[in-house]
Structure 1
Amino acid sequence: MFLQALGALAAIDSEGGCGEMEESYPWFKEYDLVKVPRTLEPYQNIPTHGFLDQAAAAVPKLGCVQLGLEMAYPEIKEHAERLANALASMGVEKGDRVVTLLPSSIQYVVADSAISKAGAVHVPCSFLEAKDTLAHKFTESGPKALICLDEHLATAESLREYMAAPNIIITKLDDYSGWSSKRGELPDVMWLTDLIDQAKPVPPRVSIEPSKDLETLLFTGGTTGLPKGCMLTHRNIVANVLQNIAIFGPVTKVLKGNISVIMGLPFFHSYGHCIMHTMIGGLQANMLIVTDPRDVKAMLELMRKYNPVLQFGVPTQFMKMLEEDIRAARVIGISGSAALPPTVQEKFEESSDGGYVSEGYGLSELSPVTHFNVSTNIRVMGGRQGVKVLNALLFNPVSIALTRAQAKLLGPKGFGKMFTGIIGFLAKRSRKSSKVREVERKATIGIPLPDTEVRVVEVDSG
């Protein structure tokens, strides 16, 4: 059983979008303050893999960092095109499902884009799930191919009977690492790296209609019953990426193509899947991938080495970080997937060297982000009057052009150090202002992203 994507993002289609919004919407006041546009229409009419293509052309020196390997977007794009070719050669056609059982990794990024380029539908699943849960998802989706780590081959073999075709592709995590990888011969499976090496970098010609064709079949957590597949189109994903960037205001015009970000999220989760696309397509950022989201020490090491500006995580990660020396964590943290306790937010700000954490909200059916809490950013920038001053001084067209030129000269590491130093100074100053802290409280409600329609529907469940 599939659950069609509803609400804000489903309302955006090639025939019109959300329509006229009422001037009385209370969050428009916040939009005007932080310079968020009230609408982003018309949205780019591109398939999701178009973001990787754009990043490869615009920032050819940036890409993904994993286990000591730095891989640029043009090479990631080529690997995706080769894999798309290989998938087509094994019979994967437009609309077919391809399952991944992968951790956050370059392999996941390659697979996601390759599946899109082949015109197929990506079904991300977690290798931590019980076999019965996975069997349900496989039965509902009927995948023609499965991509997983070699260490999960036994699980993959047990699920082969639920697949529409017996194509199992395996990879070792350190196939994409700074060291050589050894492997043994295994029957009845294909190695991801072999397929990529042997295929030509020419993806199949597939006509994709972004507003109608599915990009992802993302299953819900199943907290109220069996997991249900959320049918998300290319337009759903593309629209949410652009909305996620817009809600940050004009600062993203400076950051785009100039920063590194910590990706401490499981990409198979709706939050991680969305942020992966947002960083590739919206910010064209250098992604520092943490293959094990529980490895807080690895995150801190990446912070010291690359000076990232943003860190995406979940509340438990920020809690675990408080057990370490986080003075290196001078980052803007973005928390999601669960409520961020105000005490954790407070302690993180006190313990880090000027870092702070904000949060977003959403649900899988909506691609998934629907709301973001801008009050933290307002507080750090000195309150409402401070936001107005900084927007006028730093984010006018001339200042943005000059700052971007400086960022290109410094590179992501140098610019990250400079930018987080400024943010750290502002964050420390704001903590001393009782007036700002009183107005912009922690754990306040988020505001909807642009073009999000909120409707309260009363249903008599009997």
Structure 2
Amino acid sequence: MPHRSPFPDVEIPDLPLHELVLAGAADRGDALALVDGAGPDGLRVTYAQLDTAVRRLAAGLAEWGLRKGDVLALFSPNTVAFPIVLYAASMCGATVTTVNSLYTVDEITAQLRDCGARVLVTVSPFLDRAAPAADAAGVDEVLVCDRAEGRRSILELMASTAPEPRVPIDPASDVVVLPYSSGTTGRAKGVMLTHRNIVANLVQTHSAVRLGPGETTVAVLPFFHMYGLTTLLNHPLHLGATVVVLPRFDLERFLAVIQEHRVTRASVAPPIVLALAKNPLVDRYDLSSLRTVLSAAAPLDQELAEAAARRVGCPVVQGYGMTELSPCSHVVPDHDEATPPGTVGKLVANTECRVVDPATGEDTDGVGELWIRGPQVMRGYLGRPEETDALVDRDGWLHTGDVGRVDDRGNFFVVDRLKELIKYKGYQVPPAELEAVLLSHPGIADAAVIGTAVDGEEVPKAFVVRSRDAADLDAGAVLAFVAERVAPHKKVRAVEFVDSIPKSAAGKILRRELRERERARTAG
């Protein structure tokens, strides 16, 4: 029997993303929308200025030639320009594919080719990667958000006197954001999120999350990730809150921003919770303005959450979701005073969840795989119908690959996962991608990658079979080889040389056997 959200269903506005988020922007006038938090005198953008900037950039992009259905790639750290580009492209009817700011040239090129991006918007410090990737992928032009010699800036496009575009958009079918996710396994795939997917997820959370004018959040999670994009941009800007933007995580600056701007809400990942719980810097700052710290993107140890809550003086709670869910399906409600330890919360409005026994495919009252259904479920993977069908069944249930349970009050707990995806500090690391990199080394005959625990953090570990003529290949050489070819969060952190990789009769790597071997080794 499916579990339903305890919150009443809400009506999903039939609006494009930019219209919903900016609906009240002009009327909010001088209320602060965005603040550059990198320094004490950072740029401040009011809601009226945000509204004007989006409309002017949309006009400039349309004059440039951006049309409905085109793909604009946004490769940038967190900046106040990021939402302006996002919503301007939305006004043009284009799709924005967000690119991981840590990606290498090869990884950027692969994404640009896969989605057929026409234009790439970046920042000048990223041009050393953006320019060669754009050239290799055949992108029409690289624009910058700041200034760079020989490159047009979005500031020039915003000076356009052309009328703002009036583009017919079907919120139910038109894709507005195309982040890349590995789903439950394999290489990264473009996740097609429609206007309706994201708009639905915004209004679904209203009953549980009390955020609005007068509140301030600190945006330290990357906007290229759906967790950051929705929780730290779309949601607070839609509700009239102030977003203090940080380009990267630096604990001292993060704490200073909370103190200086009287931040009321922080959305983070477990490594930041760890810092809040243990780093002595925390005691030097006044964090009394904080009302809630939300952790997501990876499982959070309950003892760690409680330790951090004691240090910062407010609840540290969890949420649950995935990119394919736009991204939220569960959250601990702000007003829930009887939250049990370790829960990821209750289902958001308009959402159903089944707990399914993986062995029988039947619903269970115990522990099972979580299946989610609701308007936030993605349209599908770009150009990969078979992989879409493998994740979302014909009845609309998205099979998360995560194992959990639910108590009699509708609180869900994620206890394990079926999927083999490694989560390193909240980032997705697909084993198959690392295995492909390893196998490109001439001295490696075979390889497999699993997640293993090192100092309480899950990290990628490679099991490597040397080629016959590579007896002198050592772990350092393997680590360096992979590090040169992937983003920092994907690096292999440990190597073990083995005689063979366990595989099924069909040739599938039996990672379960490697994990069991690893657990036995660490236990011994």
Say whether the fold is shared (TM-score over 0.5). yes
Aligned partner of 1:89 in structure 2 is 63
**Secondary structure, in 3 states, of the residue corresponding to 2:179?**
strand
Runs of 5+ unmatched residues, structure 1: 1-23, 32-36, 173-182, 384-439
Find out whether 1:230 has 2:188 as its counterpart. no
Mapping of residues 322-361 of structure 1, within 5 Å = 322=277, 323=279, 324-326=281-283, 328-330=286-288, 331=290, 332-352=292-312, 354-361=313-320
Displacement after TM superposition at 1:195 (Å): 2.1
Correspondent of 1:314 among 269, 275, 292: 269
Q: CA deviation at 1:72?
A: 0.5
Verify: 1:241 aligned to 2:202, yes or no: yes
Residue 358 of structure 2 is aligned to residue 369 of structure 1: no
- 1:210 deviation in Å? 0.7
Higher helix share: 1
Partner of 1:190: 152
Choose the corresponding residue for 2:144, options 166, 170, 173: 170
Supply the AA of the counterpart residue of 1:454: C
Please list every run of at least 4 consecutive aligned residues from structure 1 whose deviation after the TM superposition is greater than 3 angstroms. Answer: 24-28, 161-165, 455-462
Aligned 8 A contact 2:71 2:94 in 1 = yes
**Counterpart position of 1:180:** none
User: 2:235 aligned with 1:302, yes or no?
Assistant: no
Q: Provide the residue aligned with 1:452 in structure 2.
A: 351
Q: Give the number of aligned pairs.
A: 350
- Describe the shift of the 1:454–1:362 C-alpha distance in structure 2 as closer, same or farther (beyond 3 A): same
Q: CA deviation at 1:346?
A: 1.0
The answer on whether the counterparts of 1:103 and 1:291 sit within 8 Å (CA) in structure 2 is yes
Secondary structure at the aligned position of 1:311 is classed as strand
Deviation at 1:441, TM superposition (A): 2.9
Q: Indicate if the aligned counterparts of 1:138 and 1:162 stay in contact, CA closer than 8 A.
A: no
Describe the shift of the 1:85–1:340 C-alpha distance in structure 2 as closer, same or farther (beyond 3 A).
Answer: same
Question: Secondary structure at 2:282's aligned position in 1?
Answer: coil
Match of 1:62 among 13, 23, 32: 32
Match of 2:226 among 255, 260, 270: 270
Name the aligned partner's letter for residue 351 of structure 1. Answer: R
Shift of 1:171: 2.7
Which residue pairs with 1:115 in the alignment?
89
Larger radius of gyration: 2
Residue in 1 aligned with 2:468?
none
How does 1:125-274 map onto structure 2 within 5 Å? 125-163=99-137, 165-172=139-146, 186-187=149-150, 189-196=151-158, 198-200=159-161, 202-221=163-182, 224-248=185-209, 252=210, 255-274=211-230
**Distance in 1 separating the partners of 2:127 and 2:93:** 26
Q: Rate the CA distance shift 1:137–1:452 in 2: closer, same or farther, 3 A.
A: same
Q: Does the CA contact (< 8 Å) of 1:78 and 1:201 recur in 2? A: no
Q: C-alpha distance in 2, partners of 1:164/1:213? A: 24
Alignment of 1:5-20 (within 5 A): none
CA separation in 2, counterparts of 1:166 and 1:209?
Answer: 26
**Correspondence for 2:244:** 288
TM-aligned CA distance change 1:452 to 1:222, over 3 Å: closer
Unaligned runs of 5+ in 2: 362-389, 391-505, 507-524
CA distance in 2, matches of 1:96, 1:224: 28
Distance 1:286 1:356 in 2: 21
**Amino acid of the structure 1 residue aligned with 2:350:** D
Q: Aligned-residue CA RMSD in angstroms? A: 2.4
1:329 partner letter: L
Report if the CA contact (8 A) 1:348-1:357 is conserved. yes
Q: CA deviation at 1:71?
A: 0.8
Aligned to 1:39: 9
CA 1:55/1:316 → structure 2, altered by over 3 Å: closer, same or farther?
A: farther
Secondary structure, in 3 states, of the residue corresponding to 1:333?
Answer: strand
User: What amino acid is the match of 2:8?
Assistant: R
Taking structure 1 as reference, are residues 201 and 302 closer, same or farther at Cα in structure 2, changes over 3 Å only? Answer: farther
SS in 2 for 1:360: strand
Indicate the percent of aligned positions where both proteins have the same amino acid.
Answer: 26
Is 2:98–2:224's contact at 8 Å kept on the other side of the alignment? yes
- Taking CA–CA contacts closer than 8 Å with sequence separation of 6 or more, which of the two structures ends up with the larger relative contact order? 1
Partner of 1:378: 336
TM-score by length of 2: 0.63
Query: Under a length normalisation based on structure 1, what TM-score does the superposition of the two structures give?
Result: 0.71
Q: d(CA) in 2 for partners of 1:75 and 1:53? A: 11
- In structure 1, C-alpha distance between the alignment counterparts of 2:162 and 2:222, rounded to whole Å: 28
- Shift of the alpha carbon at 1:453? 2.3
Tell me if structure 2 keeps the 8 A contact 1:81–1:201. no
